Amino acid sequence: MAKKVKAVVKIQIQGGRANPAPPVGTALGPHGINLMQFCKEYNAKTSNQVGQIVPVEVTVFQDGSFKFILKTSPAADLLKKAAGVKGGSAVPNRDKVGTVTSQQVREIAEIKMKDLNSIDIEGALKIISGTARSMGITIVD
Amino acid sequence: MYWLEISVETDGEGAEAVAEALRPFAHDGGVALEQMGDETDLDPNALESTVTVKIYVSEADDSPELRHRIEEIMYHLGRLYPLPAPRFTELKDEDWANAWKENYQPFRVGRKLWIQPSWIPLDAGSGSGAQLADDDIVVVLDPGMAFGTGSHPTTQMCLLALEKLVQPGMRILDLGTGSAILAIAAAKLGAAELLGVDNDDIAVKAAADNVAQNHVQDQVKIRIGTLASVAEKHWEIVVVNILAPVIITLLAEDGLLDYVADNGRLVLSGILDQQLGEIEQAISDAGGTLLETLSMGDWVACVVQPGLRA
């Protein structure tokens, strides 16, 4: 019988740099995960991506075991690169920080498609567009 | 000392935007998104729809202004997408750093090495039902926040190699000693002189505590530092359980093989199987010979001799 999932935790951290301090320790420790074992595995598998955010999705089972998979860069990171901005807006409904084209949004949606909970490209486009708006990035045609 | 956890409950659609808004305030820029398993669903993979976005701030960086600023940012974001107010929780170390110990049970590695968590009575047996035998060599361990619990394949392969290679009276260097599990095991297997080196002061403290706990302080010395800080050369065994890129640098730039006696052995671990080719090349370029490869799961370990095969 399949093991029951206790939680799924996605952590956005720098490749090759995981250590048991927060956020890894505080996010995974309470679930009973052996933090050093996780860090060793993560750092080994991301040692060629140092300097990039390499999100990881950790599935914790009720018996304390875990598995993880590496994910694509966060949509916000891809949007910042596409818009050529360093960060999102603190007041996104009022202050806009940059623009992306709808074609760029589509490209990002295609990259992120496998990691999003959307069944088709239209759903992925909706999520990426929402993220752009929430960052104060305007979508233009 | 506490860590401030700032958490915001949202859903799959709002999670990335919240994460991005919180990231500038997060320790190390790290953000966690947590989705709990759905206890009420028979499907073992079912998850609740709520996604909790969490960041952590050190006590030194916490302030009423910071909390107010985050409330303000979440308020503005909430005008676009409905969000509850952020929650601020002060976490003590014991809330998160020790929870994994509940799943850490005594276990045997190889023929007679027995790894015993220091907080479990010696006669309790292992969670898997294995029992301590009279001639088992017991390593009592509290890894704390240091690498080396003994449960990882990379450490287990080193222990297997040491069980085979260590002879009474040997001198052994353990580079990247972590919890000192390897140095202590080698001492208990009969080695006379061991040096454990680590560049992490948390590891050095855990290592020293474990050495004392196992009563091997006469044989095992622990030092903070890197390979360059080790003056002594010609060790009969050098064991390095770190990661492939570090091992390649040690071989190519730091003269790792010079630290191994002519008839000695170098044990390398922390290598994923797809990295073995690069490691083999680095061994060969440094003038060593790969004698044996051990394999466990995705991981490999290498036993190397300096110079060409005799």
Which class for A67: exposed (0-12), middle (13-18), buried (19 or more C-beta within 10 A)? exposed
Mean pLDDT of the region B74-80 = 91
In this prediction, residues A69-91 reach a mean pLDDT of 87
Angstrom distance (rounded) from CA A119 to CA B162: 51
pLDDT tens digits along B234-247: 999 999 999 999 99
CA distance A46 to chain B (A): 11
Query: A14-38 pLDDT, tens per residue?
Result: 888 898 888 999 999 888 888 888 9
DSSP calls for B27-43: GGG-EEEEEEB-TT-SS
Task: Count CA within 13 A, CB hemisphere, residue B309.
Answer: 5
- Note the pLDDT of residue A8: 94
B129 confidence band (pLDDT: 50, 70, 90): low
Pick from B26, B151, B245: CB nearest A34: B151
Mean pLDDT, rounded, for B42-52: 89
DSSP, collapsed to helix, strand or coil, labels residue B2 as strand
CB proximity A119 to B under 8 Å:
no
Q: Does the structural domain B2-100 have CATH classification 3.30.300.170?
A: no
Rg of the Cα atoms in chain A: 17
Residue B30 is nearest to which of A13, A31, A87, comparing CB atoms? A13
For CATH 3.40.50.150, the residue range(s) in chain B are 147-305
Confidence (pLDDT) at B310: 55
- Give the CA distances from residue B124 to residues A112, B132, B184, in Å, rounded to whole numbers and listed in that order: 49, 9, 22
Secondary element (H or E) of residue B230: none
B168–chain A nearest CA distance, Å: 31
Distance in Å, alpha carbon of B23 to nearest chain A alpha carbon? 9
pLDDT of residue B12: 84
- In this structure, of B86-90, B95-99, B111-115, the range with the lowest mean pLDDT score is B95-99
Per-residue pLDDT, averaged over A85-113, amounts to: 90
Q: What is the pLDDT of residue B1?
A: 84
Q: What is the distance between the alpha carbons of residues A48 and A51, in angstroms, rounded to a whole number?
A: 9
Structure tokens at B185: 């095991």
| Domain at B147-305, CATH class | alpha beta
Q: Where in chain B is the domain with CATH 3.30.70.120?
A: 2-100
Q: How far apart are CA B116 and CA B108, in angstroms?
A: 9
Mean pLDDT of chain A: 88
3-state SS assignment for residue B72: helix
Res B161 pLDDT > 60? yes
Once rounded to an integer, what is the mean pLDDT over residues B199-213?
Answer: 93
Of all residues in chain B, what percent carry a pLDDT higher than 70? 97
Return the higher-pLDDT residue of B46 and B158: B158
CB contact at 8 A, A43 and A68:
no
A82-102 burial, b if ≥16 CB within 10 A, otherwise e? bbebeebbbebeeeebbebee
Per the CB < 8 A criterion, the answer to whether B4 and B62 are in contact is yes
CB-based contact B143:B230 (threshold 8 Å): no
Report pLDDT for B169: 96
pLDDT in tens, B248-287: 999 999 999 999 999 999 999 999 999 999 999 999 999 9
Mean pLDDT of B58-64: 95
Dihedral (Cα; B23, B29, B30, B33), 10-degree rounding: 10
Closest residue in A to B46 (Cα–Cα): A5
